[in-house]
Amino acid sequence: MSGCLASADTLQLKDNAAISGKILSEKNSLVAVDVGYTVLTVPRASIVKITRGEEAEGPAKPVKTARGAKTSPNAQPPAESRGDFYVATVRSGPERNVRDLVNQLGEAVVQVRTPSGLGSGFFINDDGFLMTNFHVIEGETQISVEVYLQKAGQLERKTCKQVRIVALNKFADLALLKVEDKDAPKSKHVSLGSSDALSVGERVFAIGSPLGLERTVTEGILSTKTRQMAGELYLQTTTQINPGNSGGPLFNMSGDVVGITNMKITFGEGLGFAIPVETVRYFLDHRDA
């Protein structure tokens, strides 16, 4: 199928057809596959064979670490670089407590403001590129970003008003922005982890600005990894999500981003949803499109 990555997983079907994409989840009765523009659920009975992307590629090759040094795949480095644009965690580090992680990650999380509302976001590299939701900036041309700089043990607010829209995907509800203020400092950034590696029941936490209450931290557990809504798969979490959290990061307990918070069920509690980070990485890898 055109547009898929060379390392995509392949499902060989009974009628000699095949589907290529990223396997998001596997159950006894079906397999969910992200084919780029939508998520397909394929009945297990229709599948003859599943070939993983790494199997099709052959033996694993050395990869570059975030510092550019080559290493053997057996060495299991903590992170790798994707075109020097963002850092993706290969293997999560040890779990830590929320307090320490918030102190470490706080500067990377921002508030995104427009004339009609606000949301959250987070830096993915030190050049000012940041992620948020499409619906946070939809139809807007005036965008500002509130960043928080650590000085003398305190977070000092700075408003950046030169913000450019780099890439958008309305259907995935994702937007890539860039802060272009001349006096903007190098931004602290987060690493992108894997929601595939999460297990239901694991603890996660969010940092954002619900209802404009900046620097709000909420914690919960992962309720399910494959909640299907409007044809898309979402992470469902008990982490409190409210208007203003949209576009902010959902972290695992190692401090890696596993999703982008984007909605909640308004008539229920403990029903928050996040876009899986695999969707975010696919969006970033294909941002030029």
Residue 246 is among the residues annotated as catalytic for this protein: yes
Cα separation, 245 vs 264, whole angstroms: 10
Q: Select which of 81, 135, 181, 285 is catalytic.
A: 135
Q: How far apart are CA 157 and CA 148, in angstroms?
A: 5
The whole-angstrom separation of Cα 275 and Cα 261 is 6
Q: Name the H helices within the chain.
A: 53-57, 98-105, 134-137, 277-285
In the DSSP assignment, the letter for residue 59 is S
Residue among 194, 246, 254, 256 flagged as catalytic: 246
277 secondary structure, DSSP code: H
User: Of residues 9, 34, 173, 256, which has the active-site annotation?
Assistant: 173
Structure tokens at 62: 């050395």
d(C-alpha 118, C-alpha 145), whole Å: 10
| Whole-angstrom distance, CA of residue 198 vs CA of residue 195 | 5
Instruction: Give catalytic residues, as residue numbers.
Output: 135, 173, 246
